[in-house]
Structures are given as C-alpha cells and as structure tokens.
Amino acid sequence: MTQAAVFLATCPKSNSTLTTYSNARKAVLEHGPLPVPLKLRNAPTPLMKAMGYSGGYRYPHNFSGNYVPEEYLPDALRGQRFYEPGTSGEEPQIRERLERWRAEREERRQAEEAEDASVAAAARALDK
C-alpha cells in the first residue's frame, strides 16, 4: 500500500478528468436523460431485435487496435467533446490517439453521407 501511495503521489497530475466530469454533468443537466442509441441497446427479445436494438453495433475488440470509428453519444450530443487531454504525463500521447480516432470517425461519417447521397440520387432517378 505504501508503494502505491508513493507512486500515486508522485505521478504527473492533471485536472482533465475533473473538467471532463464537469462538462458531462453540465450536458446532463442541460439535456436531461437522453435515449441510448439503438445500436448500443441490448436486444434480448426478437421484438427488440426487429426494432433495431443492437443493430449495426461493431464490437471494438474484434477490430485492429480494439477501435472502430463509431459515435456512441445520443444524437443531441453528437460531436460534443467532454474530455480534452492536457499536457501532463501520458496525456500528449492520449491527445494524439484521440485526434487519430476523430479523423477516422470523420472519414467514416463522410463516406456514409456520400453513400446515403448516392442511394438517394439513385432512388430519385428510379422515381422519374
């Protein structure tokens, strides 16, 4: 226990987690309880599965780097950032990793929008 206490006492300190908590709490107070995105909901019954629960969820540990460029926040909070790493300890490396993940997620979002636009254009062409 003494070694753990000394280790923790001498680690680089940051208030990033405190500001993260504060930002998340503020969002909860502003928006109230928001619905969990369907892809994150458990689907224990056939009805729930038919309603889209857990549909399209990609388990990150089944992918390279244990990461998939997904958005997990409710729609009302989409794109918000609660955690911004500081400059202490491992936070610069965390910042780099988050920037890479955010770029991957943005690329995926743009690809999905382009695909949706293509499908919509094809549907309009068929309607004519």
pLDDT band at 62 (very low <50, low <70, confident <90, very high): very high
pLDDT band at 120 (very low <50, low <70, confident <90, very high): confident
pLDDT band at 126 (very low <50, low <70, confident <90, very high): confident
3-state helix, strand, coil in the chain (%, to 5): 60, 0, 40
List own/partner pairs for 36-40 with CB under 8 A and 24 or more apart. Answer: 36/74, 37/71, 37/72, 37/73, 37/74, 37/75, 39/70, 40/72
User: What's residue 124's pLDDT?
Assistant: 86
User: Residue range 94-101: average pLDDT?
Assistant: 93
Neighbours of 90 (CB within 10 A): 12
pLDDT in tens, 38-56: 999 999 999 999 999 999 9
DSSP-derived letter for residue 87 is S
Q: Which pTM was predicted? A: 0.70
Give the sign of the dihedral formed by CA 20, CA 34, CA 53, CA 48. Answer: positive
Average pLDDT, the chain: 92
User: What's residue 24's pLDDT?
Assistant: 95
